[in-house]
Amino acid sequence: MSEEGKIHHLGWFIAGLGVGALVGILYAPKSGRETREEIANNAREGTEYVRAKTKQAAEQVSALVDQSKEQLSDLVDKGKDQVNEYVGRSREAVDRGRAQWEEFVERGKGMVTDQTTRVAAAVDAGREAYRTTTTDGKS
């Protein structure tokens, strides 16, 4: 039963107590003093009942709040775990990409060095061929 339903029923219960007390007073074969004492006792009992029900309702609300806090904490923890997992995956992907990039750069440097060596060798061979040709032609 919802809290609103409990409050609604509690209101009708209190109204019934009042009507019952009024009917009891009107038809009671007791003296005024006895009737006043009975009314006072009933009022104390009603007050105690309302206090007990209020305390019970407060405890239920407190339990619901605690449960909601736990659920929220669990959701936050799950969210943090997922974010950490995605961050870890992203870092791995960046690291793999960086490693591949460094490998490509090193390959490129090697190719440039190799081509530089080949060009230098070709230039040296060309110079030597030129010297050989020009030296043989002068003699």
- Across all residues in the chain, what is the average pLDDT? 86
Percentage of the chain exceeding pLDDT 90: 53
95-119: average pLDDT: 92
| Dist. CA 29–CA 24, nearest whole Å | 9
Task: Give the residue among 84, 58, 78 at the shortest CA–CA distance from 3.
Answer: 58
100-120: average pLDDT: 92
| Dist. CA 86–CA 90, nearest whole Å | 6
- Per-residue pLDDT tens for 85-99? 999 999 999 999 999
Q: Which two tokens stand for residue 102?
A: 């460094």
Question: How is residue 101 annotated by DSSP?
Answer: H
